[in-house]
Amino acid sequence: MHAEITLDPLELYASAIDASDYVPKIAPLVRRMVPTVGELLDVGAGGGQLGAALRDPALPWTAVEPSPTMRRRLVRLKNPPRVVEAGWAEADVATAAHDTVLAATMPAFFEQPEAFLARCRAWARNTIVWVVPAHAGPKGLCFAGCLPSEWHREDETPGIDIVMRGLSSASRPQEAAFVDWTFTGIVSDLDQLAHWMATRLGWSGADERRTLLHAHLASKAKRTSQGFRLDIFRRTAVLVWGNK
Protein backbone atom coordinates (compact mmCIF):
# COMPACT_ATOMS: atom_id res chain seq x y z
CA MET A 1 0.00 0.00 0.00
CA HIS A 2 2.66 2.49 0.97
CA ALA A 3 4.58 1.99 -2.26
CA GLU A 4 1.63 3.64 -4.04
CA ILE A 5 1.44 6.69 -1.75
CA THR A 6 1.68 9.94 -3.61
CA LEU A 7 1.74 13.33 -1.94
CA ASP A 8 1.94 16.59 -3.84
CA PRO A 9 5.19 18.20 -2.62
CA LEU A 10 3.97 21.68 -3.54
CA GLU A 11 0.75 21.23 -1.56
CA LEU A 12 2.76 19.73 1.31
CA TYR A 13 5.02 22.79 1.32
CA ALA A 14 2.16 25.28 0.97
CA SER A 15 0.23 23.66 3.82
CA ALA A 16 3.31 23.97 6.01
CA ILE A 17 3.63 27.66 5.09
CA ASP A 18 0.00 28.07 6.19
CA ALA A 19 0.90 26.62 9.60
CA SER A 20 4.25 28.42 9.94
CA ASP A 21 5.16 31.88 11.19
CA TYR A 22 6.66 32.59 7.74
CA VAL A 23 4.31 35.42 6.76
CA PRO A 24 4.14 37.04 10.24
CA LYS A 25 7.95 37.13 10.38
CA ILE A 26 8.80 38.06 6.77
CA ALA A 27 5.99 40.39 5.71
CA PRO A 28 6.77 43.09 8.33
CA LEU A 29 10.45 43.07 7.33
CA VAL A 30 9.56 43.50 3.65
CA ARG A 31 7.17 46.34 4.52
CA ARG A 32 9.91 48.15 6.44
CA MET A 33 12.27 47.80 3.50
CA VAL A 34 9.62 48.60 0.89
CA PRO A 35 7.05 50.93 2.51
CA THR A 36 5.13 51.45 -0.75
CA VAL A 37 4.50 48.21 -2.61
CA GLY A 38 2.00 49.60 -5.10
CA GLU A 39 0.87 47.27 -7.84
CA LEU A 40 2.45 43.89 -7.12
CA LEU A 41 3.74 41.12 -9.38
CA ASP A 42 4.38 37.90 -7.41
CA VAL A 43 6.61 35.58 -9.47
CA GLY A 44 6.40 31.92 -8.53
CA ALA A 45 3.62 32.89 -6.13
CA GLY A 46 2.91 29.41 -4.79
CA GLY A 47 -0.14 29.60 -2.55
CA GLY A 48 0.09 33.39 -2.50
CA GLN A 49 0.42 33.70 1.27
CA LEU A 50 3.20 36.30 1.25
CA GLY A 51 1.93 38.19 -1.77
CA ALA A 52 -1.55 38.47 -0.27
CA ALA A 53 -0.04 39.90 2.92
CA LEU A 54 2.09 42.45 1.06
CA ARG A 55 -0.21 43.63 -1.73
CA ASP A 56 -1.85 47.04 -1.57
CA PRO A 57 -5.53 46.17 -0.97
CA ALA A 58 -6.61 49.15 -3.10
CA LEU A 59 -4.74 47.88 -6.15
CA PRO A 60 -4.89 44.75 -8.33
CA TRP A 61 -2.04 42.26 -8.15
CA THR A 62 -0.70 39.59 -10.48
CA ALA A 63 0.75 36.14 -9.78
CA VAL A 64 2.97 34.14 -12.13
CA GLU A 65 2.51 30.47 -11.22
CA PRO A 66 3.04 27.36 -13.40
CA SER A 67 1.64 24.79 -10.95
CA PRO A 68 -2.07 23.88 -11.30
CA THR A 69 -2.09 22.90 -7.62
CA MET A 70 -0.91 26.33 -6.56
CA ARG A 71 -3.18 28.12 -9.03
CA ARG A 72 -6.15 26.40 -7.39
CA ARG A 73 -4.99 27.86 -4.10
CA LEU A 74 -4.53 31.33 -5.58
CA VAL A 75 -8.05 31.58 -6.97
CA ARG A 76 -9.47 30.65 -3.55
CA LEU A 77 -7.89 33.68 -1.87
CA LYS A 78 -10.28 36.35 -0.57
CA ASN A 79 -8.91 38.88 -3.06
CA PRO A 80 -7.24 36.66 -5.67
CA PRO A 81 -4.63 37.92 -8.11
CA ARG A 82 -4.76 37.86 -11.86
CA VAL A 83 -2.97 34.57 -12.56
CA VAL A 84 -0.45 34.09 -15.36
CA GLU A 85 -0.25 30.34 -16.03
CA ALA A 86 3.43 30.06 -16.90
CA GLY A 87 6.94 29.84 -15.53
CA TRP A 88 9.01 32.99 -15.15
CA ALA A 89 10.91 32.55 -18.40
CA GLU A 90 7.75 32.17 -20.53
CA ALA A 91 5.39 34.48 -18.63
CA ASP A 92 3.65 37.08 -20.79
CA VAL A 93 3.79 40.09 -18.47
CA ALA A 94 3.98 43.64 -19.78
CA THR A 95 7.22 45.55 -19.27
CA ALA A 96 7.23 47.99 -16.34
CA ALA A 97 3.57 47.25 -15.56
CA HIS A 98 4.04 46.66 -11.82
CA ASP A 99 5.55 48.82 -9.11
CA THR A 100 7.05 45.94 -7.12
CA VAL A 101 8.18 42.50 -8.31
CA LEU A 102 8.31 39.88 -5.54
CA ALA A 103 9.94 36.46 -5.83
CA ALA A 104 10.23 34.04 -2.92
CA THR A 105 12.24 30.80 -2.78
CA MET A 106 12.56 30.41 -6.54
CA PRO A 107 14.78 27.75 -8.18
CA ALA A 108 15.85 30.50 -10.60
CA PHE A 109 17.71 32.18 -7.72
CA PHE A 110 20.21 29.33 -7.80
CA GLU A 111 20.07 28.22 -11.43
CA GLN A 112 19.97 31.50 -13.38
CA PRO A 113 20.20 34.46 -10.98
CA GLU A 114 21.43 37.00 -13.54
CA ALA A 115 18.82 36.07 -16.14
CA PHE A 116 16.06 36.03 -13.54
CA LEU A 117 17.11 39.40 -12.14
CA ALA A 118 17.08 40.88 -15.65
CA ARG A 119 13.53 39.57 -16.11
CA CYS A 120 12.47 41.10 -12.79
CA ARG A 121 14.06 44.43 -13.76
CA ALA A 122 12.09 44.45 -17.00
CA TRP A 123 8.83 43.91 -15.12
CA ALA A 124 9.38 46.33 -12.22
CA ARG A 125 8.72 50.06 -12.27
CA ASN A 126 10.25 50.68 -8.86
CA THR A 127 11.39 47.78 -6.69
CA ILE A 128 12.48 44.13 -6.83
CA VAL A 129 12.27 41.92 -3.73
CA TRP A 130 13.76 38.45 -3.48
CA VAL A 131 13.07 36.26 -0.45
CA VAL A 132 15.97 33.79 -0.32
CA PRO A 133 16.76 30.86 2.02
CA ALA A 134 19.75 31.78 4.19
CA HIS A 135 20.10 28.81 6.55
CA ALA A 136 22.50 25.91 6.11
CA GLY A 137 20.39 22.94 5.12
CA PRO A 138 18.67 21.03 2.32
CA LYS A 139 16.53 22.95 -0.18
CA GLY A 140 14.85 20.14 -2.13
CA LEU A 141 12.74 17.45 -0.50
CA CYS A 142 10.03 18.85 1.77
CA PHE A 143 10.81 18.02 5.44
CA ALA A 144 14.37 16.97 4.53
CA GLY A 145 15.47 19.43 7.22
CA CYS A 146 14.27 16.87 9.76
CA LEU A 147 16.70 14.25 8.45
CA PRO A 148 20.42 13.66 8.94
CA SER A 149 22.50 14.77 5.97
CA GLU A 150 23.65 11.24 5.15
CA TRP A 151 20.02 10.38 4.37
CA HIS A 152 18.93 13.34 2.27
CA ARG A 153 22.40 13.86 0.69
CA GLU A 154 21.49 17.36 -0.50
CA ASP A 155 23.80 20.34 -0.78
CA GLU A 156 23.40 22.29 2.47
CA THR A 157 25.08 25.50 1.28
CA PRO A 158 22.92 28.45 2.37
CA GLY A 159 20.86 29.62 -0.58
CA ILE A 160 21.99 33.21 -0.11
CA ASP A 161 25.60 32.15 -0.67
CA ILE A 162 24.69 30.48 -3.98
CA VAL A 163 22.72 33.53 -5.09
CA MET A 164 25.46 36.01 -4.27
CA ARG A 165 28.07 33.88 -6.04
CA GLY A 166 25.87 33.85 -9.12
CA LEU A 167 25.39 37.61 -9.30
CA SER A 168 27.97 39.98 -10.73
CA SER A 169 29.20 42.81 -8.51
CA ALA A 170 27.03 45.21 -10.52
CA SER A 171 23.94 43.10 -9.82
CA ARG A 172 24.23 42.94 -6.04
CA PRO A 173 21.14 44.14 -4.12
CA GLN A 174 21.07 47.62 -2.61
CA GLU A 175 19.65 46.29 0.67
CA ALA A 176 19.66 42.98 2.51
CA ALA A 177 18.19 41.92 5.84
CA PHE A 178 17.75 38.61 7.63
CA VAL A 179 14.99 37.07 9.70
CA ASP A 180 14.58 33.75 11.53
CA TRP A 181 11.34 31.76 11.45
CA THR A 182 10.07 28.20 11.91
CA PHE A 183 8.86 25.93 9.13
CA THR A 184 5.96 24.10 10.79
CA GLY A 185 4.36 21.16 9.06
CA ILE A 186 1.34 19.41 10.51
CA VAL A 187 0.62 15.97 9.07
CA SER A 188 -2.20 13.63 9.97
CA ASP A 189 -0.34 10.42 9.16
CA LEU A 190 3.34 10.22 10.08
CA ASP A 191 3.66 6.73 8.63
CA GLN A 192 2.39 7.98 5.27
CA LEU A 193 4.86 10.88 5.29
CA ALA A 194 7.76 8.58 6.19
CA HIS A 195 7.01 6.15 3.36
CA TRP A 196 6.53 8.99 0.86
CA MET A 197 9.85 10.55 1.87
CA ALA A 198 11.66 7.21 1.69
CA THR A 199 10.35 6.67 -1.83
CA ARG A 200 11.40 10.18 -2.89
CA LEU A 201 14.86 9.45 -1.48
CA GLY A 202 15.06 6.42 -3.78
CA TRP A 203 15.08 3.81 -1.03
CA SER A 204 13.78 0.37 -1.97
CA GLY A 205 10.83 -1.18 -0.15
CA ALA A 206 13.25 -3.51 1.66
CA ASP A 207 15.63 -0.73 2.78
CA GLU A 208 15.97 -0.92 6.58
CA ARG A 209 16.26 2.85 6.72
CA ARG A 210 12.51 3.09 6.06
CA THR A 211 11.79 1.89 9.59
CA LEU A 212 14.52 4.11 10.99
CA LEU A 213 13.11 7.12 9.12
CA HIS A 214 9.67 6.65 10.64
CA ALA A 215 11.19 6.36 14.12
CA HIS A 216 13.34 9.42 13.47
CA LEU A 217 10.34 11.54 12.39
CA ALA A 218 8.35 10.29 15.38
CA SER A 219 11.15 11.42 17.70
CA LYS A 220 11.06 14.90 16.12
CA ALA A 221 7.28 15.28 15.95
CA LYS A 222 4.97 16.70 18.59
CA ARG A 223 1.41 15.40 18.94
CA THR A 224 -1.31 17.98 18.43
CA SER A 225 -5.07 17.86 18.09
CA GLN A 226 -4.55 18.00 14.32
CA GLY A 227 -1.93 15.26 14.08
CA PHE A 228 1.86 15.48 14.20
CA ARG A 229 3.78 18.75 14.11
CA LEU A 230 7.30 18.97 12.74
CA ASP A 231 9.26 22.19 13.31
CA ILE A 232 12.37 23.12 11.32
CA PHE A 233 14.49 26.24 11.90
CA ARG A 234 14.75 28.59 8.94
CA ARG A 235 16.63 31.80 8.22
CA THR A 236 15.61 33.98 5.30
CA ALA A 237 17.31 36.86 3.52
CA VAL A 238 15.25 39.65 2.02
CA LEU A 239 17.10 41.29 -0.88
CA VAL A 240 15.91 44.56 -2.38
CA TRP A 241 16.86 46.38 -5.58
CA GLY A 242 15.62 49.80 -6.62
CA ASN A 243 14.78 49.97 -10.30
CA LYS A 244 14.65 53.71 -10.85
Asked if 204 and 155 touch (Cβ cutoff 8 Å), the reply is: no
Asked if 30 and 236 touch (Cβ cutoff 8 Å), the reply is: no
For the cut 80, the answer to whether the pLDDT of residue 1 exceeds it is no
Question: CA 166 to CA 169: how far, in whole Å?
Answer: 10
Pairing of strands 40-43, 61-64: parallel
For the cut 60, the answer to whether the pLDDT of residue 184 exceeds it is yes
pLDDT at 11: 92
Question: CA 210 to CA 206: how far, in whole Å?
Answer: 8
Which pLDDT band holds residue 243 (cuts at 50, 70, 90)? confident
Alpha helices in 135-201 (DSSP H): 149-152, 159-166, 190-200
Cα atoms in the Cβ-side hemisphere of radius 13 Å centred on 188:
2
pLDDT digits (tens, 9 = 90+) for 185-227: 999 999 999 999 999 999 999 999 999 999 999 999 999 998 9
For the cut 90, the answer to whether the pLDDT of residue 25 exceeds it is yes
The model carries a pTM of 0.94
For the cut 60, the answer to whether the pLDDT of residue 77 exceeds it is yes
